[in-house]
Structure 1
């Protein structure tokens, strides 16, 4: 009976973690939706409503950042078998980070080349972001380059891996990187395609980065550089 109760508790804990993680993701996507509404209002000539929605977006963004950062820190304080924390930057880590950035740029270059020679079509997600940047450049660039890398790394790498793959074994690390990157790709492209594979590959690189450096700030920096090179 006690074994049955223990297994039931584990399942319940897992379901609660799933609900929390999905909740964090919905919270973030809702904030992105608000910025999208503000962007759409620009073309309709509604500056007053644009400013209102930008203000609301900033308020929700601050709440999202505060809640998710608090949850991540609480998570590590309660259970941190991989010893994630602040790892000081040195020459070796800098070169490794630059090497991973070069790998991400190689993925992006290959993807853009295949689009250029008409092997692949331009992804709808990227086209939408480019359109929004044209309509409302300052806020969309700031959101995509500065805010999104921080929140997405906390959600997809930090919280996700510690919730569902916290054991520090080769199998758990491999599965954690594989699944988190796959979900990351599906969020950007919700269908199996070469574009989904490209986004997933970027997610796998970021997952490896988190487990390699054991400091999520390296992930944020790498994600920031990738988004900046894609949009500027």
Structure 2
């Protein structure tokens, strides 16, 4: 069990490094051209790079699922129940964001370092950054942190272990966006990860957490 978990965590780490490299491959040519790269050039590069990454992630995710006995994970049709639950998670997600905003306004914490750097890149490469943040990022990060990281831990057929997986994946999700040296922002990101993780663990369908992640990132860019 421990050997399998460590093996899966190693795979997740390698794919996370691949995600970072994919962002680099899309952003750097645009930044080097000082924003003069054409729309088709940027969109084409993004489609190729992130298309390959997503195919690799999806194949690994399916492989992880095939090794489990749990039948909880499957495509969940949009019913009144799932729509209501998703709406509740959207409200919870924005409650977390509101709490973070209030902490920043009161001076309890500053703007996350990664957020300010992303906004700076947005000024130089708006199309590439928008595609990464609103299209590639939500799908890749949900497959990484929910689809793969949560399934790195054993006994996903048991609710107790799913709770453990949600908590651990949320904490690591927070660390991927900030650090322990910024505890309040780490807690905010971890809480967001918990909302996404709870959505996935409850519905069993990763599309719902992807949707929440997309809505969250889109709102962050607009506001």
The TM-score with structure 2 as length reference comes to 0.89
Match for 2:32 among 41, 49, 54? 41
Q: Deviations over 1:5-61 (max 9, x none)?
A: xxxxx4443332222111111111111122342353244x7749x987875554221
Correspondence for 1:132 among 105, 121, 128: 121
Matched residue, 1:178: 167
Instruction: Tell me the equivalent position of 1:194.
Output: 184
Is it true that 1:229 corresponds to 2:219 in the alignment? yes
Q: Which residue of 2 aligns with 1:218?
A: 208
RMSD between aligned residues: 2.2
1:148 to 118, 137, 143: 137
| Runs (5+) with no aligned partner, structure 2 | none
Select 1:83's aligned residue among 61, 72, 79.
72
Aligned to 2:11: 20
Work out the CA distance in 2 between the residues paired with 1:150 and 1:158. Answer: 10
Deviation at 1:216?
0.4
Q: Which has the larger radius of gyration?
A: 1
Does the aligned pair in 1 maintain the 2:139–2:210 contact within 8 Å?
Answer: yes
Post-superposition offset of 1:163: 2.2
Q: 1:201 to 1:213 in 2, by over 3 A?
A: same
Q: Distance in 1 between matches of 2:30 and 2:188?
A: 27
- For the structure 1 residues 170 and 87, does the alpha-carbon distance in structure 2 shift closer, same or farther, using more than 3 Å as the test? closer
Cα-to-partner distance string for 1:100-124 (whole Å, 9 max, x where unaligned): 1111101111211221232221111
Deviations 1:140-177 (Å, cap 9, x if unpaired)? 11210111111111111111222224432243122101
Check conservation: 1:180, 1:207, Cα contact below 8 A.
yes
Answering whether residue 84 of structure 2 is matched by residue 95 of structure 1, we say yes
The yes-or-no answer on 1:161 pairing with 2:118 is: no
| Count of aligned pairs | 221
Please identify runs of 4+ aligned residues in structure 1 that moved more than 4 A. Answer: 45-48, 50-57
Residues 1:89 and 1:54: Cα distance change in structure 2 (over 3 Å): closer
Q: 2:107 aligns with which of 92, 107, 118?
A: 118
Contact 1:104 1:202 in 2 (8 A): yes
Contact kept, 8 Å, 2:42 with 2:127, in 1: the verdict is no
